[in-house]
Amino acid sequence: MPEYKITVATGTSEYSGTNNYVYVTLIGEKGETEKTLLDNPGLDFCRGAVDDYKVSSPVPLGQVLLVRLEKKRYWVEDNWFCRYVVVQPPGGTAPLTFPCYRWLVGDVFVELREGTAKRLCDDSLPLLLSHRKKELEERQKVYRWQAWAPGIPQCVAAESEKDLPQDARFDNEKRSDFEGSLHYASPLSPRLLELSLKKLAIVFGKSWSDLDDFRRIFWKLRSPTAEYVMEHWREDWFFGYQFLNGSNPRMIKRCQTLPKNFPVEGGMVQASLGPRKTLAKEMKAGNIYLVDYAVMDGIPANVIRGRQQHLAAPLCLLYAHPDQGLIPVAIQLGQTAGLDCPVFLPSDPPLAWLLAKIWVRHAEFQIFQVLSHLLRTHLVVEVFCVATLRQLPAVHPIYKLLAPHLRYTLEINCRGRTQLISADGIFKRVVSTGGAGLLILAQREYKVLTYESLQPIKDFQQRGVNQLRDYFYKEDSLMLWDAIHSFVSGMVDLYYSSDKEVHKDTELQAWIQGLSSELKTRKELSTLLSVVIFTCSAQHAATNNGQFDWCAWVPNTPCTMRRPPPTCKDSITMDTIMETLPDISQSCVQMAITWHLGRAQPNAIPLGQYTEQYFSELPAQELIKGFRQELHDIEDTIVKRNQGLEPQYLYLCPSRVENSITI
């Protein structure tokens, strides 16, 4: 009677093990074994355990095609996370690995395919074809589309994270850490109250009296970059630097012609350009840049605790100075020029120029949080996540490639919709675009969002920024894009030998349906997959990971403004600025929530580190190994460049970039 050796690996996170009954059935070309209880002396299926068993078959099975695992309750329900099953056939045949990486919840069974990636055309046996079909039918019942709001990307149908299947949920450690840090950052948290008071008798809601008062909350949560911001935020060169390497480094564009609604004349900025230079010459030389917040024009501002908040849609003109770096030379705080919307200049009274820059930084907060971060990473990636789960079986090579990069995205987005941007979420409480404004802003951006803007090479070319110096975000993005694209292209070429095979893959075409017309070539597929992986790893890290650094010193990037933009340069006093900036309560929440969202995750999986081994074939594993080496080389390059640099730009170090959007 043939005897098979079975190795079963249980998950390593908390509560992955089970004391329930677990059965196995091996299904082969020529028959199947009887359902066999897996039971060794002592405890089975403990957290992190790798248990060996023997299963007998009445007849030779031939090639083992499927492993059926079945869990039955013993006294109480105890969910189980299985990592993989290895089957060693008799006769010294090479062992077969069957990846699982799934929770078994309740009295259920799962059927696992051997780990070699297979497209639909690679399967011919009715059993395997039926397995693919049933798997997708089951997933399509569980993962359904929903329109959370009109005019933005569709999302998974779930009212909250509790409606998601266990396979899409945080593991226990991640959940505990997330909820613990969110409690720390909650507006009602005792720790936040302590943070805001700092042994001072301050009543929430009271305004600050001086900019130095913000130091009262800047004492416990801090970082080297945040402290650098606190010391240098008023300086023009640092204001310009943040357009290149802050949390929103995608807005700046080369200015070849001044917008008609921005009446800046050469004489107005001559002092900033220097002798023998003119605005026209510098514009022609590619040294003049523009940041235009037209998308903000007319967005309704929030009302917080009964008080109207305010927004602006600035235009900011910058000059790439040969010695001083990128510096602002003119700011207009609205899209309609006029006597009540003047152009602010560095030569204006210092407080007027400072307040104009603060208004630009306030617009930056809205844009990077709602558009660069939420819409262009979280919501875009969720579309691919749901499509992947609905249309690609686990054995498909593209599913195997994408799965590690979609980990936890559905839960973090569900939590974002219920806790951050909902009608009573944190944005509504403290952010000037909270409420209706947030959605209108996202809808406007989604209408004009282009596929090319998600590809760094084309994005930088279209914005005309390739000659900007010290644009570390650009340098690091291009290195990571090249590494990702090279890796993905290798994977695509491994499983698709021609463009025709891409076009004829009906599962792949179903996956892209609704996102694009169709995929016709390997190049198109490689680019699209690279966009997905780059967006959920590098692009998310660039916009998310530094938000505490840039926002902790609240005057540098205020979440809301309590007075309207100034219409006169000469009437601005320090009282005007303090009455405009967020109050004590709003400032505390801004500092705490950006710490919660931007901090390094304790259980993060860095880019290219695939803890779940979906690919069992050697060529795919070699490509992964090469990808990791390239990322290691990029890490060395970035670290060396940052030696002696202040402030440092390390957000795109591969070791600090997560594989997926988890926060």
**Statement: residue 207 has pLDDT above 80:** no
Query: What count of other Cβ atoms lies within 10 Å of the Cβ of residue 587?
Result: 26
Nearest to 432 by CA among 521, 476, 367, 495: 367
Q: Rounded to whole angstroms, what are the CA distances from 357 to 83, 276, 312?
A: 53, 27, 12
For the segment 518-569, what is each residue's pLDDT rounded down to a tens digit?
A: 899 999 999 999 999 999 999 999 999 999 999 999 999 999 999 999 999 9
Q: To the nearest whole percent, how much of the chain has pLDDT over 70?
A: 95
**Statement: residue 119 has pLDDT above 70:** yes
Q: How far apart are CA 336 and CA 333, in angstroms?
A: 9
pLDDT at 180: 80
Model confidence, pTM? 0.95
Query: What count of other Cβ atoms lies within 10 Å of the Cβ of residue 91?
Result: 7
Residue in the block written with tokens 């779940």: 612
Check residues 585 and 358 and name the one with the higher pLDDT.
358
**Statement: residue 199 has pLDDT above 80:** no
pLDDT at 190: 42
The b-or-e profile of 156-194 (16+ CB within 10 A means b, else e) is: bebeebeebeeebbbbeebeebbeebbebbbbebeebee
End-to-end CA distance of the chain: 52
**Statement: residue 198 has pLDDT above 60:** no
Q: How far apart are CA 72 and CA 108, in angstroms?
A: 7
Q: How far apart are CA 224 and CA 221, in angstroms?
A: 11
Q: Assign 265 a pLDDT band (cuts: 50, 70, 90).
A: very high
- The 3 state secondary structure assigned to 131-160 is HHHHHHHHHHHHCCEECCCCCCCCEECCCC
Contact 389, 139 (CB under 8 A): yes
Contact 341, 333 (CB under 8 A): yes
| Helical (H) or strand (E) element with 265 | none
Q: Which two tokens stand for residue 67?
A: 């492993």
For the segment 335-380, what is each residue's pLDDT rounded down to a tens digit?
A: 999 999 999 999 999 999 999 999 999 999 999 999 999 999 999 9
For the segment 591-611, what is each residue's pLDDT rounded down to a tens digit?
A: 888 988 888 888 899 999 999
Least confident of 194-198, 237-241, 561-565: 194-198
Q: Which two tokens stand for residue 105?
A: 């919840």
